[in-house]
Amino acid sequence: MNYLDKTQLPSLADRLNHAMAERNLSQEALAASAGCTQASIQKISSGKSQKSRFLPAIARALQIDVDWLELGVVPTTQTPRDNVYRLRPRDGTPFVLGELSPWDDFTPMDDDEVALPLYKEVEIASGLGKSSVQIDEGRKVRFSSYTLRKAGIDPTNAACATNTGNSNHPLILDRATLGIDKGMTKIIDGQVYALDHDGLLRIKFLYRIPGGLRLRSFNREEYADEDYSFEQVMEQRIQIIGRVFWWSTLNPINSSLIV
């Protein structure tokens, strides 16, 4: 890869087009490798977009330095720096293993992003300690629609929730964000599902048993299996919200940092 500095390639679009030409990659091929849409690549390559959360993935697909792509900084070393790890493959071209792409509520969404609703437990106004599993209208979780489609999930059926407790530790940690496919409520033995259990949001492995349903935790040393007959399922209002297809966890040393 021939790294030209900002005097020769002043814009992000210039550098992207230069790298695509050197790698002989089309917009469609690059999009497929980077996990985004061709429209996202087109917006960057045409100069319409000066920022994208897909830049680290695009740099990986092109096997180039992400700082050069985004900022025009010509790499001078291949040693690890910050949270970017650059290695030199056999042909001598640096590539990026990974980098966080920060964003906040004010960062515009890319064409390939969707804002998924977030489920939570809400105390019922009448009190008595009762709760209901409802969508939190004030919060959304960003997700790549390309990733959802690749996993066979209709973005309109996707939602998120937050895990609480240690019943599935260490597989799913407390406060983990979960991706839920609401279009999949059919029980597949051994799959993880999000449940509304009489107003409680629960994350459990489900199994069909004769005449009923079994809820299982990953942490079986502390949490025994729960078997319910179909009559009990109806009485206790156990409803399947959807199958859990993804989870992500921040694991700070000080749990008080979690908000």
Report pLDDT digits (tens) over 108-143.
667 778 888 888 877 655 445 567 888 877 778 888
Question: 43 lies in a domain?
Answer: yes
**127 and 199 share a domain?**
yes
Q: What is the predicted pLDDT for the residue at 248?
A: 80
Q: What is the predicted pLDDT for the residue at 124?
A: 58
Extended beta strands in 20-156, E state: 86-87, 95-96, 113-123, 131-144
The whole-angstrom separation of Cα 238 and Cα 230 is 10
Q: Tell me: the pLDDT tens digits for 52-102?
A: 888 888 988 898 988 899 888 888 654 333 333 333 343 444 433 333 444
| C-alpha closest to that of 31 among 63, 58, 50, 68 | 58
Contacts of 247 (CB under 8 A, 6+ apart): 163, 172, 176, 177, 178, 179
Question: 120 lies in a domain?
Answer: yes
Extended beta strands in the chain, E state: 86-87, 95-96, 113-123, 131-144, 158-162, 177-181, 191-197, 200-209, 212-216, 226-229, 238-248
Q: What is the predicted pLDDT for the residue at 226?
A: 97
Question: 41 lies in a domain?
Answer: yes
Total domains in the chain come to 2
**84 and 187 share a domain?**
no
Q: What is the predicted pLDDT for the residue at 76?
A: 66
Q: What is the predicted pLDDT for the residue at 249?
A: 65
**19 and 75 share a domain?**
yes
**154 and 47 share a domain?**
no
Q: What is the predicted pLDDT for the residue at 259?
A: 36
- The chain-wide mean pLDDT, for the chain, equals 80
Question: 164 lies in a domain?
Answer: yes
Give the H/E segment covering residue 15.
Answer: helix 12-23
Give the least confident one: 103-107, 157-161, 235-239.
103-107
Q: Tell me: the pLDDT tens digits for 22-49?
A: 988 999 989 888 888 899 999 999 999 8
Structure tokens at 76: 């001078």
**252, 258 contact by CB (below 8 A):** yes
CATH code at 127? 2.10.109.10
pTM: 0.58
Q: What is the predicted pLDDT for the residue at 129?
A: 56
Highest mean pLDDT among 2-6, 121-125, 157-161: 157-161
Q: Is the pLDDT of residue 227 over 80?
A: yes
| C-alpha closest to that of 167 among 216, 208, 217, 130 | 217
Structure tokens at 97: 């293993």
Q: What is the predicted pLDDT for the residue at 93?
A: 40
**228 and 150 share a domain?**
yes
**85 and 120 share a domain?**
no
Q: Write down which residue in 41, 65, 96 finishes a domain.
A: 96
Q: What is the predicted pLDDT for the residue at 87?
A: 35
CATH code at 46? 1.10.260.40
Structure tokens at 72: 């025009």
Structure tokens at 101: 């792409």
Q: Write down which residue in 70, 96, 122 finishes a domain.
A: 96
Q: Is the pLDDT of residue 147 over 80?
A: no
**119 and 37 share a domain?**
no
**91 and 130 share a domain?**
no
**129 and 230 share a domain?**
yes
Tokens 């066979």 sit on residue: 152
**123 and 166 share a domain?**
yes
Q: Tell me: the pLDDT tens digits for 164-199?
A: 889 998 888 888 889 999 999 999 999 999 999 998
**154 and 46 share a domain?**
no
Q: Which domain holds residue 124?
A: 113-257
Q: Write down which residue in 61, 96, 131 finishes a domain.
A: 96
